[in-house]
Amino acid sequence: MGVRLGLKPQRKWGQGGVLARSPAGYRGKCRWGLLELQDMRSRGWRPWRGPSYRFRLGCASVLRSESTDVPGQPRVQVGVLSRVKVAVNEDKEQCLRLCTPSPKRRPAPQETLAEQRNNHVEELRLSDWFNPRKRPDVITATNWLAPIVWEGTFSREVLENHYRKKNLTLGLAVFATGRLADQYLELFLRSANKYFMTGYRVVFYIMVDTFSRLPQLKWGPLRQFKVFTVMEDSQPDDVHLTHMKSLGSHIVQDIQGEVDFLFSMTVTQIFQNHVGVEVLGTSVAQLHGWWYFKNPESFPYERRPKSAACIPFGQGDFYYDGAFVGGTPLELLSLVEEYLKGVVHDLRLGLNSTYEKYLNKYFFLRKPAKLLSPEYNWDAEFYPPPQVQYVKVAQQAKRRF
């Protein structure tokens, strides 16, 4: 597209002519001329009627006047001119300006709930709240530089000051059916109500097979709960599959637009001390309390090559516990989808693996952004070693590995 600078106005306003001035122009003279936008309509341009553009010979930019009102003419918008080049014809003493319109910008994607809030708060650097040197007796960072949260490695004050500004809403999902609900659900909810994210808005998502199993609790401030019933066609002998299918379904339908971070826990756990914002992250994995202190070569990964959960010998980072997992709702949804894909894949081949092995394969391929130490899920049947100084969450039932 071309724009011609003439010495005299050649068109009226209604024909798309625009007056322009070139101060300190060619040979020091100041000239008035006409900017004629050629082929405007065929190229998607609309004529601009109003005070002139200002430009200087040799410049690579154009300044647009803010006012576009002209008496007797409708108010219209003008396309932005960019990449301006100026050439001078010494013989004719005329200026020829070549320009191209800026490409149209695609509309920005709609921000998630967490992104909208985080944009108003400066991001927190890892070094601002995490000090691994305070715990030289344990592993405090992974080889992909993700922090491993132990008591003493984090500054609760710094984290509180940061996250208070974000006005967060947090979610905690628990699945409890049959005998597990009767035996553990009330104790889990009472301890979570007291110790989980105190001072923040928390929504408890309780998935049960019948409403009659819900305990009567007095919820603390900023606490609310929602109850989801398990699908009727669920198989009682495959608890993890039923749990993950229900969780994924409710993340899509309800949860993803309600909370900034979501955690999923087993009902056999009990909070013993405060679990706060130190556990927040886009993708959070729990280190297995038993296998953390064992030789990596003995980790019970899935080793059958045909299985979707397979991690070959000599590979793998840590062994993760499926009792406590968290992150953004979309990250948990991704975990659920990959787990269900793996189950379907193995069933077609006549294979059967465990939820925890699929979980470990998922985090082997998609490294978590934050890891929780065994302090956040210690088996109550074992006396904690010296490294576990402060048990935050205890596992009440003996579990099969």
CA 160, CA 276: separation in Å to the nearest integer? 9
- Name residue 261's amino acid: F
pLDDT classification of 226: cutoffs 50, 70, 90 = very high
Query: How does pLDDT run across 9-62, given as a tens digit for each residue?
Result: 444 333 333 333 333 433 333 333 333 333 333 444 444 444 433 333 333 333
Which residues lie across from 283 on neighbouring strands? 327
Q: Which fold has domain 113-395?
A: Spore Coat Polysaccharide Biosynthesis Protein SpsA; Chain A (3.90.550)
Quickly state the pLDDT bin for 2 (edges 50, 70, 90).
very low
Which of 162-171, 179-188, 231-240, 378-387 has the least mean pLDDT?
231-240
Which residue, 399, 388, 398, 392, is CA-closest to 376? 392
Q: How far apart are CA 287 and CA 296, in angstroms?
A: 13
Residue 343 tokens read as 């189950």
Look up residue 311 and give its amino acid. I
Q: What is the pLDDT of residues 284-313, one digit of tens each?
A: 999 999 899 898 888 999 999 999 999 999
Mean pLDDT of the chain: 76
Residue with the bigger pLDDT between 303 and 4: it is 303
Q: What pLDDT, on a 0 to 100 scale, did the predictor assign at position 171?
A: 97
Active site members: 356
Return d(Cα 124, Cα 320) in angstroms, integer: 26
Residue 220: CB partners within 8 Å, gap ≥ 6?
193, 194, 198
Residue 120: the pLDDT is 53
Residue ranges covered by each domain of the chain? 2-101, 113-395
Give the CA distances from residue 213 to residues 219, 224, 400, in Å, rounded to whole numbers and listed in that order. Answer: 17, 17, 25
Q: What is the pLDDT of residue 211?
A: 84
Q: 106: which DSSP letter?
A: P
Check pLDDT > 70 for residue 382: yes
b/e for 153-185, b at 16 or more Cβ within 10 A?
bbeeeebbebbeebebbbbbbbbbbeebbeebb
